[in-house]
Amino acid sequence: MTGEIYVLLDQSNGRVDTLSRETLALAQQLGHSHGLGVKALLLCGPSRSSVENVAGLQVDEVLAVSHERLEQYDPDAHCRALTQVLAQDRPLAFLMGHSYQNIDLAPKLAASLKCGLVTDCIDCRIDGGGMIFVRQMFRNRINADVRVRSPHPWIATFQSGAGAGNDLLEGEATVVERTVDLSGLAHRRTVVETVGAVKEKVDLTKAATIVAAGRGIKRKENLRLLEELAEVLGAELGASRAAVDSEWLERDRQIGSSGQSVAPRLYIACGISGAIQHVVGMRNSANIVAINTDPDAPIFNLANYGIVGDLTEIVPALTRKLREEKGL
Amino acid sequence: MKVFTCLKETPSRDTRYELAPDSSWIGNAEVTHEISECDEYALEEALKLKEKHQGEVVLLTAGRAEAEKSMRKGLAMGADRGVLILDRARDLSSPHRVAAALEKVLQDQDYDLILTGTQSDDYGYAQTGPMLAHLLGLPHATIVMQIQVQTDRGSVRALREMESGWFEWVEIPLPAVLTIQAGISQIRYATLRGIMQARRKEIRKIELGDLELDLSSMPHLEIERLYFPEQTSKAEMIAGTPDEIASTLVDRLRREAKVL
């Protein structure tokens, strides 16, 4: 296979964001092992500063597209700009981070280019016939190897952790300015207001120990069992999205991609299956204990200690044991 | 306010999956189906919009003939009628194809809003909504948590979920496509009266073939292999009675992990 891999660089606070760095690292690795070129693509407003931030990456070229309509994310402007560049260059593949912004943009881009898109990938490899994109399906229970049958570029978005951002190779990139024609493009989407979630009453990022509840706690009354365990451990309570959506815990205790990212010394996951959206927020915990009724739950792949069983029996036994030792 | 709500029926959320012998698809002999989770929330939002602004809620489904059962549930919850695109041979297994089929049906319809779930419980590609919007030339917003229709301005405001607990309100002109996030509200139950009425509500059935789409020319995502995630676990599995488990775990956390 020959050709080039293009990677979209997203920036936050004037830096290439972590997810883009990881995605680029993955592309560099694929490029090196299979002799494919790698180029980075940057959409930005007219200011030069964004471009300077990306010149130190090891890529064949940085393609910089600056336009006043690209200052802030707008699906119409971003889609048209990318369509023009990608339809002209037709790289082999176009990779993006699976960010909330790119989830909004990528399917529109795929429809516009009439190219296949594989979202939320956790890995990618090249075999004789082409590229295999790996992603999870059926609510993260089953992995799938997916092949795209469409003209190039094959588009894919990558989940956090698919590439290792620390392995990103630095270098001297040539920056090539590309122009796009966005004339006559109506302003359809206006950002009215950006709001923080509930002002975090609870800062879980500082907690040394977290006892977290998931869908598997089944009913609100069972939360008491976790509270008692948290109390004896001096722990904070955390929650998966499912537990928050069920209104068992407040949203400011949510851990994961749409909540807080934590790294306590001890994380006890109670009735949490281990969906990737939760895992990205807690996988850096030093020690993970998982209690779940389903022996196949993906959380056990991450845990240091796993217990298959009913948390309404295990958690109280654990609390009793700890109390006993403390002479309570 | 006329709202089309796209419903997909997918395997029940408590399904314990088995794989087909050739690993090309799931192999469970019997799988019960239900409305995909996000889609059910989309329907709930549509019904709330109807309560507030009057109008009509129409269900749009592409699926097996059996999907009618899930649609009847949606009608019992309060939707007015439904359109079912019969995809008997599972030809609509890629997002471009689903979006094209839905677009074909919607081309000659009137509507103010089209709602879909953010992602489905089976493939979970999260593509159909924005693709459909693009094909219809409409603006869209994804991962929506709240909807406010601005009737006087002919627009809709949508609260979008973003990274790390941030949200943004965006405003786009009607008609528009919104993809709805799960868990944003309490889903209503169908009343007995609703269930009775649903039996008489219309579901128009369209054979996929009659839409005359050139499916084979569209981008396709070919599933080469399904497999269960590798057990890469380094976890020590602790078994026993609850009290034995508690003792062992406390011991490990103290001696090995040194966190107690």
Answer whether A301 sits within 8 Å of B231, measured CB to CB: yes
Of A116, A245, A296, the CB nearest to B221: A116
Predicted pLDDT of residue A50: 73
Residues of chain A contacting B223 with CB distance shorter than 8 Å = 144-146
Q: Are A116 and B178 in contact (CB under 8 A)?
A: no
Distance (Å, whole) CA B168 – CA A295: 39
Q: Are B208 and B101 in contact (CB under 8 A)?
A: yes
- Contact with chain A for residue B189, Cβ under 8 A: no
Predicted pLDDT of residue A53: 73
Predicted pLDDT of residue B231: 66
Nearest CA in chain B to A275: B229
- Contact with chain A for residue B178, Cβ under 8 A: no
Residues of chain A contacting B249 with CB distance shorter than 8 Å = 289, 305, 307, 318
Of A116, A119, A296, the CB nearest to B219: A116
Predicted pLDDT of residue B60: 98
Nearest CA in chain A to B226: A144
- Pick among A132, A307, A328 to test the B interface (most B CBs inside 10 A): A307
Q: DSSP strand E in chain B: where?
A: 2-6, 9-11, 33-35, 56-63, 81-86, 113-117, 140-150, 155-161, 166-173, 176-180, 203-207, 220-227, 236-237
For B12, the 3-state DSSP assignment is coil
Distance (Å, whole) CA B249 – CA B260: 11
Residues of chain B contacting A148 with CB distance shorter than 8 Å = 219-222
- Which residue shows structure tokens 């399906």? A137
Task: Give the CA diameter of chain B.
Answer: 70
Is the bond preceding residue B175 a cis peptide, omega within 30 degrees?
yes
Distance (Å, whole) CA A208 – CA A197: 23
A212–chain B nearest CA distance, Å: 17
- What sign results for the dihedral spanned by CA atoms A168, A174, A175, A179? negative
Answer whether B222 sits within 8 Å of A192, measured CB to CB: no
Question: According to DSSP H, which parts of A182-245 are helical?
Answer: 223-233, 241-245
Distance (Å, whole) CA A234 – CA A252: 19
Residues of chain B contacting A289 with CB distance shorter than 8 Å = 249, 253
Which residues are paired to A176 by β-bridges? A63
Q: Are B85 and B105 in contact (CB under 8 A)?
A: yes
Is the bond preceding residue A153 a cis peptide, omega within 30 degrees?
yes
Nearest CA in chain A to B11: A138
Which DSSP symbol is given to B168? E
Q: Are B92 and B207 in contact (CB under 8 A)?
A: no
B191–chain A nearest CA distance, Å: 22
Residues of chain A contacting B101 with CB distance shorter than 8 Å = none
Residues of chain B contacting A266 with CB distance shorter than 8 Å = 253, 257, 259
Answer whether A194 sits within 8 Å of B168, measured CB to CB: yes
Per-residue pLDDT tens over the stretch B57-116 = 999 999 999 999 999 999 999 999 999 999 999 999 999 999 999 999 999 999 999 999
Of B135, B163, B233, the CB nearest to A306: B233
Residues of chain A contacting B156 with CB distance shorter than 8 Å = none
B5–chain A nearest CA distance, Å: 19
Type of residue at A184: G
Residues of chain A with pLDDT under 70: 197-201
Measuring CA to CA, how many Å separate A295 from each of B32, B235, B246? 22, 12, 18
CB within 8 Å of B150: residues ≥ 6 apart: B156, B157, B171
Number of Cβ pairs < 8 A linking chain A and chain B: 260
B229–chain A nearest CA distance, Å: 6
- Contact with chain A for residue B137, Cβ under 8 A: no
Distance (Å, whole) CA B118 – CA B184: 12
Predicted pLDDT of residue A14: 77
Answer whether B222 sits within 8 Å of A149, measured CB to CB: yes
Task: Give the CA diameter of chain A.
Answer: 75
Residues of chain A contacting B172 with CB distance shorter than 8 Å = 188-190
Buried b (16+ CB within 10 A) or exposed e, B114-123: bbbbbbbbbb
Q: Which of B89, B105, B74, B57 is nearest to B206 (CA)?
A: B105
Q: Which of A313, A278, A277 is nearest to A292 (CA)?
A: A313
Per-residue pLDDT tens over the stretch A216-268 = 999 999 999 999 999 999 999 999 999 998 999 998 899 988 888 888 999 99
Distance (Å, whole) CA B26 – CA B33: 13
CB within 8 Å of A153: residues ≥ 6 apart: A6, A86, A90, A91, A92, A93, A94, A113, A115
- Chunked mean pLDDT (size 10), chain B, 260 residues: 97 90 89 95 98 97 96 98 96 97 97 97 96 98 96 96 85 98 89 96 98 97 92 84 96 92
Phi and psi based region of residue B45 (left: phi greater than 0; alpha: psi -120 to 50; beta: remaining) = alpha
How many Å is the Cα radius of gyration of chain B? 22
CB within 8 Å of B146: residues ≥ 6 apart: B158, B159, B184
Predicted pLDDT of residue B199: 95
Its ipTM equals 0.91
Residues of chain A contacting B164 with CB distance shorter than 8 Å = 258-261
B15–chain A nearest CA distance, Å: 9
- Which residue shows structure tokens 């049958």? A149
- What sign results for the dihedral spanned by CA atoms A74, A76, A79, A80? negative
CA dihedral B45, B173, A10, A141 (to 10 degrees): 20
Q: Are A91 and A41 in contact (CB under 8 A)?
A: no
Distance (Å, whole) CA A159 – CA A170: 22
Residues of chain B contacting A308 with CB distance shorter than 8 Å = 237, 239
Of B11, B142, B170, the CB nearest to A192: B170
Interface of B with A in 33-92 (CB under 8 A): none
- Pick among B143, B147, B163, B216 to test the A interface (most A CBs inside 10 A): B163
Of A242, A260, A321, the CB nearest to B246: A321
Measuring CA to CA, how many Å separate B123 from each of A115, B23, B259? 18, 15, 40
- Contact with chain A for residue B103, Cβ under 8 A: no
Type of residue at B181: Q
